[in-house]
Amino acid sequence: MSENDGQKILILEDEAMIRTLMARMLRGKGFDVLESGTGEDAIGRFEDAIADNDPFDLAILDLTLPGNLDGRQVLEKCLEMQPSLKAIIASGYADEEITASFDAFPTVKLLCKPYHMADLLGMVQQQLDGAPPEETTNA
């Protein structure tokens, strides 16, 4: 049995290939992963999980999405339903304004694209283990 068995992760990523790779890697590490390609679908899956009393332990959300809801809007709706939700926001836009906009969410970390799957896995483990965030610098 893996130490990650039973930990449930929602992936919201509109790029199917990236979403599939993320899910495959996380499932290989023993996580229970549900995938979503749109904000509306992700919120539906989140509502279902809450209704089934089987909430997500972590959400990995792409910031920029097609459609009516972006990753931040999905995050806000999910946090209304589950304030303790831990999340990772993946964004190719890491300017100070975007980074600062997530400072109000203590359970949310920002992961800058492009990233290596090992970086994603490290941040997932950090979020789920409750470890304090490491200081990172872009050199």
Indicate if the pLDDT at residue 23 is higher than 70: yes
Confidence of residue 102 (pLDDT cuts 50, 70, 90): confident
- For 98, phi then psi, to 5°, come to -70, -45
Q: Are 81 and 46 in contact (CB under 8 A)?
A: yes
Confidence of residue 134 (pLDDT cuts 50, 70, 90): very low
Which of 92, 52, 66, 60 is closest to 78 using CA atoms? 60
The pLDDT value recorded for residue 138 is 38
Neighbours of 136 (CB within 10 A): 8
Indicate if the pLDDT at residue 131 is higher than 80: no
Instruction: Please identify which residue in the block is written with the tokens 């996580």.
Output: 31
What domains appear along the chain, each with residue ranges and CATH number? 8-129 (3.40.50.2300)
Q: Considering the chain, what percentage of its residues have pLDDT values greater than 70?
A: 86
Packing angle, helices 71-81 and 39-51, rounded to 10: 10
Give the C-alpha separation, 63 to 72, whole Å: 6
The pLDDT value recorded for residue 93 is 72
> DSSP class of residue 63?
S
At 50-100, the pLDDT tens digits run 999 999 999 999 998 888 898 999 999 999 999 999 999 998 776 666 667
Which of 38, 18, 32, 13 is closest to 89 using CA atoms? 13
